[in-house]
Amino acid sequence: MSSKLIAPSILAADFANLQRDIEMINDSEADWFHIDIMDGVFVPNISFGMPVLKAITTHTIKPVDVHLMIVDPDRYIKTFANLGADNLTVHYEACPHLHRTIQAIKAEGMKAGVALNPHTPIALLEDIIQNIDLICLMSVNPGFGGQSFIENTYSKVNQLKKMINKNGATTKIEIDGGVTNKNAKQLIEAGADILVAGSYVFKSKNQTETIKDLKALANS
């Protein structure tokens, strides 16, 4: 059984053919749908909101991994649960009461994720690691697809993996931004569990094959 997961990011899909692209992922070897919600405040871009997410989750047959790049995410936790999110990831930098936010996500029956911007130190999670189901390490500055991978991510994955093991936690490590076949293997070797890939999947000629190859690489 494969244990490393691939989560294509819908941000890079063809929004005029969203159902087609969702069905491609349903039929592929991908494990999760990664859905980026941006508010134009926390990040300098706006992606899409609730009605589009609702349309997406009508067609998905795999877990839906929602990445919130928004300020004050606590306001919408119940809404995202009702819209069909399985994982809800909030940004460390957007949550002054992170412990409370994580409890609220779990109380709605979702897995709780915390994302870190590239400049945010891993050590800030030491006192809360036991409570977090998923840590999303941003390997680009959040807000846009198609950016270049930041190399310092490998060392952050290493540090985070050590922290997880030291604390006996079961937290999974997700990498988001600039993931391709060039860095996938090294990320997994450093300790990553889930690879998000947007442009690399959707800009490729044969998307199903690209997902299959990335999955094989991650589990080789």
Instruction: Give the other-Cβ count within 10 Å of 172's Cβ.
Output: 18
Q: Which of 183, 193, 59, 42 is nearest to 113 (CA)?
A: 193
In the residue annotation, 133 being an active-site residue is answered as: no
The residue nearest ligand DX5 at its CB is: 198
CB of 127 to ligand DX5, least distance (A): 25
Site string for Zn ion, 102-141 (x = CB under 5 A): ----------------------------------------
In the residue annotation, 176 being an active-site residue is answered as: yes
12 near ligand DX5 (CB under 6 A): yes
156 near Zn ion (CB under 5 A): no
21 near ligand DX5 (CB under 6 A): no
Sign of the C-alpha dihedral, residues 95, 100, 105, 108? negative
Q: Any binding-site annotation on 39?
A: no
Angle at 55 between CA 49 and CA 56, to 5 degrees: 85
| Residue indicated by tokens 């189901």 | 133
113 near ligand DX5 (CB under 6 A): no
| Residue indicated by tokens 């030291």 | 166
Chain positions contacting Zn ion, by CB under 5 A: 36, 67, 176
